Amino acid sequence: MADVTVTVTPTANASVTVSNTVAASSVTFDPSSSDLTDTDLQNAIVELALEKFAQAAAPSTGVTEGDLWYDTDDDKFYARDEDSWNEVVTSISGTVDGGSF
């Protein structure tokens, strides 16, 4: 895809809208600095989504070391270490702010 340059010199109010839609599957991704293996953005997002869980029961299938699980029943946070879930945070008091993206 070529770069597009738009120059606007308004003599009054001007509005310019430029839109270009690209499928995530056609955007390449370099996984070399992560634990992901997929090389296109769509599959990398799916792969990343499969590394975290938020549910009441401990996940037992499709889990690998480094995965994260938030226990929605007990409000506890776990990380996968080899073949077991290990609690990461033992207690939280006050308000927890996850920030913004």
SS3 77: strand
Query: What residues does each domain of the chain span?
Result: 20-49, 52-89
Per-position pLDDT tens, the chain of length 101: 556 666 666 566 666 666 677 788 888 888 888 878 899 888 888 888 888 888 999 999 888 888 999 998 888 889 999 889 999 876 666 666 666 65
Neighbours of 36 (CB within 10 A): 17
What's the whole-model pTM score? Answer: 0.53
CB-based contact 87:77 (threshold 8 Å): yes
Neighbours of 42 (CB within 10 A): 14
d(CA 46, CA 58): 20
Tokens of 23: 């499928």
